[in-house]
């Protein structure tokens, strides 16, 4: 394979920027263009629901790199102009403003788009949180209204609930699961998380979905649950999930499913790669397709894609990592923690809110979760790398 002379990266967040940086670090001297839908220079999203929403961070503190570092990268930034069409065979992207950008290699890093409730745009006081602009708008509203309903029992919804509670607001979380994050972390740890939130004074309305928003005179007044009950609210946050931002790729010639379908090299078609939240690729270690929505993957996959663009031909087989910070709890996960996995506490005690749990599936360790036990969690990560036999883990389990 010959080295391309130009690379266009569609998406200017963590994954997209990291591709550009990795290419330059590996000595790529060709033209690199970074196309972003938002008008901002690349910024970091994990702080949005926490430190930016609480006011502890100014928005500028989320910039991924100082402008001086971006200038040294020698990358052309085209910002505030969403991609609307890809011609995969011609390797050409058309943007909302009518630009036409062509390159030898195109990397797709368009991330996620949030799901919304039907008709939510009709009411002031209803928010989503994906961008820094969303976050500042939500913060401004939180500073005026005491009653907040968060529709959503996943990572984002619970982080927002924790931040809003920390701001002294009356917070209710509504969601269809029987425990927060149950589908991500399982029922056991989800139960610990539920207790954490209720101990902090958050009202949980679980096992029920939001049916519709209620409002008057243009502003939201509450949410109606599936059982007809109305929860009054001054502010409603809709955090009911997201989907890969692939709508613009219809008719591109790429295979689309739950993301952009790629091979084990994260290649979607000749000269086309995908990276980050939007990429569904074949994980050779697991023998199955995977799509990861986390910050660490954005960078690690970007490094793999950059190497493959430059001819390394390497499969991408990460041990994923994600974390969430809620109140004083730092919850860290390495590997995979399927909802139906067996769970064994191997350090600490959940009642003391300091523990490490190993997760096992099909006879071996697949993941480790730590709750305020940072070093011990990192040490147990090796079980995930090694795929330690689950029988051996049972012997490590701390009696509860």
Name which of 322, 45, 51 is nearest 163 in CA terms. 51
**# residues contacting another protein (CB under 8 A):** 28
Transcribe 251-317 into DSSP letters.
TSS--EESEEEE-TTSEEETTEEE-GGGEEEEETTTTEEE---SHHHHHHHHHHHHHHHTT------
Q: How far is the CB of 341 from another protein (least distance, A)?
A: 22
Beta carbon nearer to another protein, 221 or 379: 379
Distance CA 74, CA 335 (A): 35
Of 365-394, binders to another protein (CB under 8 A) are 372, 374-375, 377-378, 381
Q: How far is the CB of 324 from another protein (least distance, A)?
A: 10
Is residue 90 within 8 Å of residue 270, measured between CB atoms? no
Would you count residue 127 as binding another protein (CB under 8 A)? no
Pairing of strands 364-371, 329-335: antiparallel
CB atoms near residue 256 (< 10 Å): 16
- Copy the structure tokens of residue 365: 């360790």
Of 296-335, binders to another protein (CB under 8 A) are 296, 299-300, 303, 321, 323, 325, 330, 332
Would you count residue 364 as binding another protein (CB under 8 A)? no
Pairing of strands 272-274, 267-269: antiparallel
Pairing of strands 342-349, 354-361: antiparallel
Distance CA 296, CA 279 (A): 14
| Stretch binding another protein (CB under 8 A), from 79-87, 155-163, 282-290, 292-300 | 292-300
Beta carbon nearer to another protein, 69 or 143: 69
Is residue 109 within 8 Å of residue 66, measured between CB atoms? no
Q: How far is the CB of 327 from another protein (least distance, A)?
A: 13
Beta carbon nearer to another protein, 351 or 374: 374
Q: How far is the CB of 196 from another protein (least distance, A)?
A: 17
Beta carbon nearer to another protein, 272 or 299: 299
- Residues sharing a CB contact under 8 Å with residue 282, sequence separation 6 or more, in sequence order: 262, 263, 264, 288, 289, 290
Q: How far is the CB of 158 from another protein (least distance, A)?
A: 17
Would you count residue 171 as binding another protein (CB under 8 A)? no
| Stretch binding another protein (CB under 8 A), from 231-239, 295-303, 338-346, 386-394 | 295-303
Would you count residue 102 as binding another protein (CB under 8 A)? no
- Whole-Å CA distances, 210 to 33, 153, 158: 42, 12, 16
Q: How far is the CB of 53 from another protein (least distance, A)?
A: 15
The contact mask relative to another protein for 329-348 (x = CB under 8 A, - = no) is -x-x----------------
Of 21-80, binders to another protein (CB under 8 A) are 21-22, 25, 44, 46-47, 57, 61, 64-65, 69
Integer Rg of the chain from CA: 22
**Chain contacts with another protein (rule: CB under 8 A):** 18, 21-22, 25, 44, 46-47, 57, 61, 64-65, 69, 295-296, 299-300, 303, 321, 323, 325, 330, 332, 372, 374-375, 377-378, 381
């Amino acid at each position: 394979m010959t080295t391309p002379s130009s690379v266009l990266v569609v998406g200017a967040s963590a994954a997209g920027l990291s591709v550009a940086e990795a290419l330059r670090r590996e000595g790529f001297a060709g033209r690199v263009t970074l196309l972003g839908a938002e008008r901002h220079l690349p910024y970091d999203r994990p702080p949005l629901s926490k430190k930016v929403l609480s006011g502890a961070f100014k928005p500028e503190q989320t910039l991924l790199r100082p402008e001086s570092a971006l200038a040294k990268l020698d990358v052309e930034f085209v910002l505030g102009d969403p991609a609307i069409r890809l011609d995969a065979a011609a390797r050409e992207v058309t943007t909302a403003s009518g630009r036409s950008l062509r390159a030898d290699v195109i990397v797709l890093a368009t991330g996620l788009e949030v799901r919304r409730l039907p008709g939510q745009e009709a009411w002031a006081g209803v928010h989503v949180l994906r961008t820094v602009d969303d976050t500042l708008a939500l913060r401004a509203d939180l500073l005026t209204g005491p009653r907040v309903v968060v529709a959503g029992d996943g990572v984002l919804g619970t982080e927002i609930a924790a931040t809003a509670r920390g701001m002294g607001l009356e917070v209710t979380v509504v969601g269809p699961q029987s425990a927060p994050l149950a589908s991500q972390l399982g029922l056991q740890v989800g139960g610990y998380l539920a207790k954490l939130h209720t101990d902090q004074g958050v009202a949980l309305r679980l096992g029920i979905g939001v049916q519709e928003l209620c409002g008057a005179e243009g502003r939201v007044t509450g949410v109606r649950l599936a059982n007809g009950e109305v929860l009054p609210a001054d502010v409603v946050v809709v955090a009911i999930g997201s989907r890969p931002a692939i709508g613009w790729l219809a008719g591109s010639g790429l295979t689309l499913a739950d993301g952009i379908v790629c091979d084990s090299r994260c290649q979607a078609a000749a000269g086309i790669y995908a990276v980050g939240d939007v990429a569904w690729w074949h994980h050779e270690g697991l023998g199955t397709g995977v799509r990861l929505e986390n910050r660490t993957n954005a960078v690690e996959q970007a490094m793999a894609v950059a190497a493959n663009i430059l001819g390394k031909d390497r499969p991408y087989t990460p041990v994923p990592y994600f974390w969430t910070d809620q109140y004083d709890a730092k919850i860290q996960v390495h590997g995979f923690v399927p909802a139906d996995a067996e769970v064994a506490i191997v350090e600490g005690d959940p009642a003391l809110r300091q523990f490490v749990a190993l997760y096992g599936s099909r006879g071996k360790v697949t993941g480790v979760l730590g709750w305020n036990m940072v070093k011990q969690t990192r040490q147990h990560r090796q079980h995930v790398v090694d795929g330690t036999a689950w029988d051996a883990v049972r012997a490590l389990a701390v009696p509860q």
